[in-house]
Amino acid sequence: MKIESVELVRVELPLVTPFRTSFGTQTRRDVLLLRVLTPEAEGWAECVAGKHPVYSSEYTEGAHRVVADELLPRLLGGDVTAASVMPALSGVQGHRMAKATVETAVLDAQLRAAGMSLAHYLGATRSEIVSGVSVGIHDSIPELLDTVGGYLDAGYARIKLKIEPGWDVAPVAAVRERFGDHIALQVDANCAYARADFRRLRALDEFGLLLIEQPLPEEDVAGHALWAAAFDTPICLDESVVSAQAAAEAIRLGACSVVNIKPGRVGGYLEARRVHDVCQAAGVPVWAGGMLETGIGRAANLALAGLPNFTLPSDISGSDRYYQQDLTEPFTVVDGLLPVPTGPGIGVTPIPDVLAELAVRREVVKP
């Protein structure tokens, strides 16, 4: 497949409500989209890097420049397939989110030309995905309870609470008291704790949580192994799992019994499938994380979440969770479920008028 040109499109979208985690508060998304043009088809992808390097070392402007200046020159001018992208980019260290964006756009174009859906290509076995929702840190517990109640009324099958020191045991206890033990509930710390916080986090065992996600820093896999052995609640890794190899090592060390898979974090959907397969072989269930994606990234995540070892509710929410106007036709949760797109490639494209209105910058790179 020959790439004729690549368009990098920057879009700014306001969030419906501010989203606060232990990293900070987000009110807008600065999104980098990639559009790959070939003689046979076009391909789309969304970079999940945030505006600032707080979740990871990558950020939108940096990803934009790395894609345009370092990654695309290594691909343009010759034949390319999705499988050949990562080997061609191996000379660039790191930048998994940027690389994932390039690989996904090429894969989308390849599959559209072949008339095959991403879900079919990856090996999905489900046509619908159980949808959970991630609830940010609030200013007060009454506000949190109102928000959780609204999501439960909207049909979400699982609630995930963001936590940080000073906002952990009390909000979890309040949600359990208000809504009961029957709701599926988990927490996400985003690396906010240290080993000295063991006793405080151990108190969460009494609330029957599905899991505690990434309580310790990314590099502290050994600390997670210690906590996993001591906690009754399953420990799930997110930021620590940057590849299939990292997943295998974490499982071998006993650092987790659940893994969150985010394709951008591990370097793309092909590597995400390898992470899935490693976990499945080890008997470790996985679930699909989210990075506040627009419909472009959401569609691709749904395809991945259709694989058989994604046995826990996902973080893939409806479009209206984050955006009043999505870049694609909206995804709507019905009875706690979202459909896996069945069209060629990722199955969606941006709505032209919406993209034209929200795009703030475009750059075209040619061979």
- Catalytic residue numbers read 162, 262
Helices within 115-220 (DSSP H only): 118-122, 141-153, 169-179, 198-202
Asked if 135 and 342 count as a contact pair (C-beta separation under 8 A), the reply is no
Contacts of residue 109, defined as CB under 8 A and 6 or more positions apart, other chains included, come to 1, 36, 37, 38, 40, 41, 42, 43, 345
CB 136 within 8 A of CB 19: yes
CA separation for the pair 91, 352 (Å, rounded): 35
Q: What would the two tokens of residue 67 be?
A: 């894609």
In this structure, which amino acid lies at residue 241?
A: V
DSSP 8-state symbol, 24: E
Residue type, 174: A
- DSSP code string of 37-75: E-SS-EEEEEE---SSTTSSS--HHHHHHHIIIIIGGGT
> Which residue type occupies 348?
V
Could you give the C-alpha distances from 59 to 31, 96, 216, 238, in angstroms and in order? 10, 11, 22, 18
